[in-house]
Amino acid sequence: MGKILICLALGLLCLDLAECRNFKIDTEKVEYSAINCRKHSAVLTDFGGKGDGKTSNTDAFKAAIANLSKVSSDGGALLVVPPGKWLTGSFDLISYFTLYIHKDAVLLASQEESDYPLIDPLPSYGRGRDAAGKRDVIIEYLTIIAPVDSPNTDGINPDSCTNTRIRDSFVVSGDDCIAVKSGWDEYGIKFGKPTQHLSIKRFTCISPDSAVIALGSEMSGGIQDVRAEEIYALNSQSGVRIKTAPGRGAYVKDIYVRNLNFDTIKYVFWMTGAYGSHPDDGYDPNALPQVTNINFKDVFAKNVTYVGDLSGIQGDPFTGICISNVTAEVATKKKSVNLYENAKKKVKLPWNCTDIGGVSSRVSPTPCDLLPEKQVDCAFPGDTLPIDTVVLKTCSVGV
Ligand SMILES: *[C@@H]1O[C@H](CO)[C@@H](O)[C@H](O)[C@H]1NC(C)=O
Ligand SMILES: *[C@@H]1O[C@H](CO)[C@@H](O)[C@H](O)[C@H]1NC(C)=O
Ligand SMILES: *[C@@H]1O[C@H](CO)[C@@H](O)[C@H](O)[C@H]1NC(C)=O
Ligand SMILES: *[C@@H]1O[C@H](CO)[C@@H](O)[C@H](O)[C@H]1NC(C)=O
């Protein structure tokens, strides 16, 4: 089974170039974590890479990965990206492979559009939309920073993935920090490959125009058993958001979220059943998604605009929603001294619910009538997922 480990130890900007140059490539001992210690290793500079922040490294990455793919069935391979600023376009990872990004190494995304060639669409999309991906994936200690005004810059997209673990990572994005997907309308229904058993822990996000974690909108292979905890967000549009539409089919179910801490957020809870957006006219408007068993607990949010905007689908309500132990401090705008101006202003309701059903407990401000108080502690599974128990080996190699 293919296993990719996107490693580790990334995140700090390499501000001290002098120190970067001191990285002794021929003597440095690299310690890394991997599902299996890799038998082979190489350094990006072996393939002509230059970490000067100006030279394109796209060809170096591609050459290195092509070269190392030859040993994937012989103990796997490690590619070391040493300290420096490595400008690059897109490249694909392979199985039995660890990409090791030194803590003083930064991958800089090329600003040339031609460095991002179109790839063939997944069969679950019918036409191009997102990059291919599936395989057991572990993402840890990863920092991804995109300009907040850049469109379509999702941080991490688990798409038709089973067994994915995301830990201790930080994303700044102009789109969703994590977007969970599984195919689009009739193509995704036909392909039928869900994203399931996804575990997210200690994740920090800044997403002024999108969600911390989005479920959908392309979810036509289904999304099931997502566990997210210890999620922090600053200056973001919404928390864990469900996006779907008639035509998507499939389901979003068994979603468990706890320990959320948000500072400045427009919607703490947001569900949208009328997201629209279809690949073509061939979708079946009667293919209704089933959204059920969605659990949130232990949430603190300050400087909130709306607490909950929950809209299901008429005739296909979102059910089994449970929200407990939530404190949301709704921002109060300074009142204008002009009483006439005040009277004209539309009152913002903290909650607005349509076509949903569920319960709530100890939630402030008081939720909508469709989430009556029931003195419950919303569920969070006590068991562990297989991907949670994968222990990474500590490995080292002289490169
Ligand atoms: C690529 O792999 C081959 C072994 O197949 C090896 O001999 C060669 O040195 C490698 N190229 C580089 C630039 O390391
Ligand atoms: C309620 O949630 C807060 C986090 O917002 C947590 O610190 C607290 O322990 C929770 N209370 C209970 C009774 O679980
Ligand atoms: C509260 O949120 C608004 C945006 O809704 C933002 O402009 C303001 O700076 C925030 N205030 C604080 C104290 O963070
Ligand atoms: C509440 O949500 C429904 C459905 O999205 C929308 O039609 C309605 O305008 C909203 N009400 C308010 C007061 O925002």
Q: What is the CATH number of the domain that holds 217?
A: 2.160.20.10
Q: Which of 130, 154, 159, 175 is catalytic?
A: 175
Residue 356 lies in a domain: yes
Residue 123 lies in a domain: no
Residue 124 lies in a domain: no
Regarding whether 76 and 164 lie in a shared domain, the answer is no
Among 298, 307, 323, 324, say which to mutate for ligand 2: greatest number of ligand atoms within 8 Å of CB: 298
Atom of ligand 4 nearest to the CA of 274: 5
Regarding whether 333 and 196 lie in a shared domain, the answer is yes
| Number of domain units in the chain | 2
Regarding whether 189 and 95 lie in a shared domain, the answer is no
- Report how far ligand 1's centroid is from the alpha carbon of 29 (Å): 21
Residue 126 lies in a domain: no
- Per-residue model confidence as pLDDT tens digits over 350-392: 999 999 999 999 999 999 999 999 999 999 999 999 999 999 9
pLDDT at 118: 86
Ligand nearest to the Cα of 296, by number: 2
- Note whether 169 and 203 are within 8 A (CB): yes
The question of whether 175 is a catalytic residue gets the answer yes
pTM: 0.86
pLDDT at 235: 98
Model confidence band, residue 20 (pLDDT cutoffs 50, 70, 90): very low
Token pair 């296909």 is found at 316
Residue-number span of the structural domain to which 92 is assigned: 1-114
Ligand nearest to the Cα of 234, by number: 3
Regarding whether 146 and 93 lie in a shared domain, the answer is no
Regarding whether 99 and 12 lie in a shared domain, the answer is yes
Q: Tell me: pLDDT of 6 over 60.
A: no
305 lines ligand 3 (CB under 6 A): yes
Which of residues 93 and 107 earns the better pLDDT score? Answer: 107
- Report how far ligand 4's centroid is from the alpha carbon of 46 (Å): 58
Regarding whether 305 and 231 lie in a shared domain, the answer is yes
pLDDT at 291: 98
Atom of ligand 2 nearest to the CA of 297: 2
Model confidence band, residue 122 (pLDDT cutoffs 50, 70, 90): confident
303 lines ligand 3 (CB under 6 A): yes
Average pLDDT (206-233) is 98
pLDDT at 78: 95
Regarding whether 292 and 182 lie in a shared domain, the answer is yes
349 lines ligand 4 (CB under 6 A): yes
Residue 129 lies in a domain: no
| CA neighbor of 47 nearest in space, from 86, 18, 97 | 86
